[in-house]
Structure 1
């Protein structure tokens, strides 16, 4: 799997520019699954959920374009939306209404990653890692698809940010079957727009008080199936609050080190971390300056000459 499990950037690059595509963005529902911003399992109370799907086809629209009729060369976005919501129904009811035989362990297994992978199976008929999962006819004809991406966003699952999301993407090089393992896949977990007061800056006045740094953290090559995002947010916030660097570059390197430390998770050697930091008050005539840092698998360790 190491040869086929890559970053989202690599999947999209190899899939190339599509001749045709259909997407649905931010389809809304409520989710009795995954964890909230405090790490509580949402099995008896809901949280808002947004779902986005992006389908790239191998060939241009034929019948749909020439005859103005839907055919096998496209996917109706209305039907795609209905298929997504139908699949998600199993997670949009309280777990209290589940059969008594269902154990607490089974209920707690309904994590964000579990929901996303279940949706993937419902649309493609295949598990995200390429093994047969279901015999029922899937909604999508994988043989006609070159690239597929699904994202589930939990806008209220962050205490200091704009939400949490997880994305799965796949480049279908060979289509379904035994060669499925040759298709490139990706999975990532993202913390959106954390606003944390941080002591950072080279100017004398910036050393006298903290200012907001808006930070987005995207962990790619993400293997975990548990709801790690409350812990990850806590680790990121703690690192920002306790730091006192002069440059965003050094702060980003420090933050990457904290995220990739091996003491709190087992998959750190396979992760790629993309950190984006904004200082809204730093440049008066611009929205903000932005610094981005990438670290982890495939990237050299970031240099950080002045540790806090």
Structure 2
């Protein structure tokens, strides 16, 4: 299958949207935006003719985006930014994606927030798929089976991923996470730093349970890394993806929570 994509990568802005790292409203913060426009027919035409007049004008596209986002204020939410970027694309019948990164959105999430919105056009229907990631939440806890791991707390790094589609009338996982990401991060830190499990598998599953059940989120993905587990590699860890219904139907996780409470 032939694929033609035009992209503008890492466009920097200072925008006011949601809350900043200090939980303050209406404070401009750094934002990095990447736009990808797929199935652009002009790429094939320009390649055949080497005629720049038939190409998608990257400079004009960037200026259109700057015009849409030039005002630091007035953005309702992260999704609103993605929609304004898409509105600047004057190419019909294309599928596009917008990645929006807030590198300093939260004090305890060193990787910040990362949102990707994909618009997939299929004839007369446009399907919207959205992903939100909270990256680089660092916590210290007792985790592992080795004697030295039981004596000292070690750093673990947590990444959270939420996914949604446009085919629902209920509040989506992404919308709930966007509205509550400061509180979710705070819960993650308190939960992990008060824990003492032997395996990251148990830690990741119980953390996923807390997130999906406490905030009524239909599905979440949790990655837990141990950077110091094996000195010669970057990190060891696990990544799980679970639906809330998994924990609602499985009594095992209730037992594990009770055991943790008794150990605390």
TM class by shorter chain equals 0.7 to 0.9
Rate the CA distance shift 1:118–1:235 in 2: closer, same or farther, 3 A: farther
Q: Summarize the alignment of residues 21-170 of structure 1 with structure 2, pairs less than 5 Å apart.
A: 21-41=5-25, 43=26, 45-57=27-39, 59=41, 61-70=43-52, 75-90=56-71, 92-93=72-73, 110-120=76-86, 122-123=87-88, 139-143=89-93, 145=94, 147-161=95-109, 162-170=111-119
Answer yes or no: is the 8 Å Cα contact 2:141–2:153 preserved in 1: yes
Distance 1:261 1:170 in 2: 29
Rate the CA distance shift 1:254–1:29 in 2: closer, same or farther, 3 A: same
Size of the aligned set, in residue pairs, is 244
1:106-137 deviations in whole A, cap 9, x for unaligned? x6x723233333433x23xxxxxxxxxxxxxx
Distance 1:77 1:235 in 2: 43
Q: Summarize the alignment of residues 1-308 of structure 1 with structure 2, pairs less than 5 Å apart.
A: 19-41=3-25, 43=26, 45-57=27-39, 59=41, 61-70=43-52, 75-90=56-71, 92-93=72-73, 110-120=76-86, 122-123=87-88, 139-143=89-93, 145=94, 147-161=95-109, 162-174=111-123, 179-180=124-125, 183-221=126-164, 222-224=173-175, 227-262=179-214, 265-266=215-216, 268-269=217-218, 272-296=219-243, 300-301=246-247, 304=253, 306-307=256-257, 308=260
Q: Structure 1: any 5+ residue segments left out of the alignment?
A: 1-16, 94-106, 124-138
Shift of 1:49: 0.9
Rate the CA distance shift 1:250–1:75 in 2: closer, same or farther, 3 A: farther
SS in 2 for 1:140: coil
Rate the CA distance shift 1:62–1:196 in 2: closer, same or farther, 3 A: same
Taking structure 1 as the reference length, the TM-score comes to 0.71
Taking structure 2 as the reference length, the TM-score comes to 0.82
Q: Structure 2: any 5+ residue segments left out of the alignment?
A: 165-172
SS in 1 for 2:23: coil
Distance 1:26 1:79 in 2: 16
Shift of 1:223: 4.8
Q: More helix per residue: 1 or 2?
A: 2
Q: Moved runs in structure 1, 4+ residues, more than 6 A?
A: none
Q: More strand per residue: 1 or 2?
A: 2
SS in 1 for 2:33: strand
